[in-house]
Amino acid sequence: MQQNWILRPSEVNVRLLVQDQFDSLDKHTQWGIDFLERYAKFVKERLEIEQNYAKQLRGLVKKYCPKRSKDEEPRFTSCLSFYSILNELNDYAGQRELVAEEMAHKVYGELMKYSQDLKAERKHSKKKFERECKEAEKSQITFERLDNDINATKSDVERAKNQLYARTHAADESKNEYASQLQNFNAEQWKHFNNAIPHIFKNVQAMDERRTVKLGETYQSFAEAERRVIPIISKCLDGMIVAAKAVDERRDSAIVVESFKSGFDPPGDYPFEDFSQNLSRTGSDGTISNTPKGDREKDGGPGPRSDPKHPMSRTKNKLWLFGKKTKGSVSRRFQPFTTRAEEKEAAAED
């Protein structure tokens, strides 16, 4: 069974008691409305934080992902992954904006509208209670006036015996009127304290209970607004993880090699130059031959050594950019990221 706030009055000056009770209820309902508006203010500040957060995230994405032409499109996986993360972050900012928008309409807007309705209903209940109290006071004044009139009629009957019958008749009429008015007063009083006042208090009680229910509903809406975007936010975070795993250091290195390779062949090994060929040895070691240079050439000996300061003939020995190029040089393109060991292996394969 539902409990009501008002108890059945049984005392004489129950009107003052009811008035005190209503004052207490008036303060309680005002506190409830103030608390509801305080929570609405909290929701407003919360959604403003969400709006600013989303705005700053979008500005951050725009700052680090500017517009660029097709020629400036990134090729490295590390750059591509970073731009993918920025796109996911932009979608994440959109979800934060959605949370703020839902809080603004379904929580804050509904709370403020409900607060205005509660204020109007509370004001109406208070005016109705004041009107009922005034009607009760008016009935009390009427009762007291009739009671005094009856006493005056009885004293007139005692003083004027000659008007005994007339006064008696008037007294009877006054008595009957008094009884009728008293009955009406008691009926109105019973109706006031047993119907009107409890009805008003029940309305106030129902209003306060509806306020409590509305707070619980908005608490849930506040959490649901956040929960509703969690799946999409999870997808954004999953996209960031996929972009992070797509970073390929070997692919990026291959792009660097392809972009910056020189196109030149690496230099070959320098040939061994035997400077001892200019010396003619005899049977004994260290003996220098006296044969002229011209005779040595006729006998098949080595000719004069070329001066290294002067360029050689193009047909005999071709100079290369980084030194001499021999017949056995490795014919492949120079790559900046190739190690010396890899060059030797490639030369051995050739």
What the chain holds in terms of domains, given with CATH numbers, is 24-148+167-252 (1.20.1270.60)
Amino acid in position 177 = E
Is the pTM higher than 0.75? The answer reads no
pLDDT at 71: 57
Average of per-residue pLDDT across 165-174: 53
Residue with the two structure tokens 């030149």 = 264
- Category of 77 on φ-ψ map: left (φ > 0), alpha (ψ -120 to 50) or beta: alpha
- DSSP category for residue 278: G
DSSP state of 348: H
Residue 328, pLDDT above cutoff 50: no
- 22-36, 58-72, 162-176, 316-330: range with lowest mean pLDDT: 316-330
| Residues 350, 339: Cα–Cα separation, whole Å | 17
- Identify the residue with better confidence: 139 or 71: 139
Give dist(CA 5, CA 26) in Å, integer.
Answer: 13
- Token readout for 94 is 């959109």
- Specify the range with the lowest mean pLDDT, choosing from 59-63, 82-86, 199-203, 302-306: 302-306
Please tell me the predicted confidence (pLDDT) of residue 238: 92
Q: Using the predicted structure, report yes or no on whether residue 87 has a pLDDT greater than 80.
A: yes
Residue 288: strand pairing partners: 281
Q: Looking at per-residue confidence, does 184 or 338 come out higher? A: 184
Q: Tell which residue, 131, 127, 124, 133, has the closest CA to residue 193.
A: 133
